[in-house]
Structure 1
């Protein structure tokens, strides 16, 4: 999701605005095709069945529409917009709206009370079905939704800061039956580029297994999965916003920063194995107020890698200077309105001006934008793609294809497949699937 930056001088290349991957035909998984029929319309329903029903529309690739209707697994039809999908998932007798769904449900006291099959609803704009948290700190939610015209039913993620800043409230269906829920493999989270740790000349990545909290190293350029990965730590599910910042200790090995969700402290971990709590060094406090920490290399010219981060409460973008990234007194505000963006990642210099650039996904539109350093102000953004809100864990990994242009990794949320995209414009046609179970 966030990466250490590999700077490169690039020739100018025209940008093609495309989606993240080629469209796949609708498919039906064995689980959803054989979903147990244990509820009747308007009756009690288990959480597992709610998730199965929502997954049915995701597997069918049901297009968004405020006027069209599509069947549930038993043949009853529901309107194919956001509230229609939640109505279908809850097996209501009608297609409710964002305004009327509260008539069938009860608002919860906190986002932390959410369970699979509950809903996140802003009655004025949008509603989604909650699937689960990707981490123990509850910083990112996996959801299923019908998003907007031009998209299909999908599974994706929303950050907690986005949910809060956009007025989403947690609701529980009044007729849900509390029962064990089988949620699909959560895959990997905090995918982070860390440079070449294995000495083979190709950039590596680290990632946390969401189900266990174990930290793994994957060797490039293909980052093959569970059989070849190397476990290098455990207990990392308590950490959020893991970010590669390059070598800040002077030992020639890339270091990482991470925020401990339990106390909000910022810690530095030294590579190549990033030893755990006994070896980490605390370098800041109050960092749980920030999100989308992103390494951008040295943009201040002092020879030390810098860091940018978004303040959750305001959406303001700040720059922090390394190696200690001193807090509120030393930070520099360089932007505002950044709470609409997800999946910020440093990508290196793809514009040829010698300064590291970043990529960001606009959650409201799903568009992918490039921002030029060193200040990454809004006027410099260039749209280079659409439909990127279907992808998670965007990670700049430097040049892994040998064309001297930085490449990008991203995980398709609905399938957990890992894709590689070629720079500098990262078009959908360049997508190569290189892994699964991410």
Structure 2
């Protein structure tokens, strides 16, 4: 089937045509799928990544220009003026202006300012200006640490009086609509498949030093495999049902579980599943009926799924696990030879690395899991 025919189909039509998880997509198609999902996920970014991206220019003292462009850490080029700098730090798709940045953000109060927010003068042209807020410089909140592209100093990190230097117009605080918090609650939700094949969960509060003390049914009978990830205080559970299809449901902190619903994309005969969170997005990986790895993305910030599953090469996998570091998803898999292999999906550049064996020489591996330490 030609790529243009596939592109013209909906996910449902594609699955009806193929009859199972697609196994005919080439590696180049997998690269295009990741690049597409990278574009879809653009905008979901943590506060720490915003600041890191800002420092990428301030550490290099990139000169100010309204006509020149310079790459961010992912290689995408942005205009080297004040609004181009914020567009780069927020990882927007293009270089916005002081007039258009409010289309991607919303007003907040001074006392709500957090790292990665901005102080913005929305006037057009040379009358407007914007700076990236990094943190308060004093207890009275009269000055703050800022990163900016200054017309006289270029990309610079410095302390600025709130809201900005006198004589430069009116500045107000704004927050990017899809920014993700870096908070770590210390609460871990643990899921198991019981002897009755039902998904059960319990909660460990490591800050309080206690467990919930009981296991609670999540209501999914005859589950064959389970994985979970968390975004913004919400736990997302993914389970392979008795029909080989993939289902999910959610629970917000302090709330109950939503109803189970099938994950979009029509995957069938799923043999394994893993999940990893990147900001407001979760990358789902599955082992298809052919033993190969497939992936899709749920953007919980926008409430959208990527839809179709993208194949990531031809394999004969037995088990998978995944974890995310910033905007890179690390996938670990036990192959049919019983050894452990790894490859990464780098959303900064929209590419997969090649499979490589994990050092150490492990053989006859039966199961695998992975977790970021941070």
- Please classify the TM superposition score into its range, dividing by the shorter chain length: 0.3 to 0.5
TM-score, scaled to structure 2: 0.39
Higher RCO, Cα 8 Å, sep 6+: 1
TM-score (norm 1): 0.34
Larger-Rg structure = 2
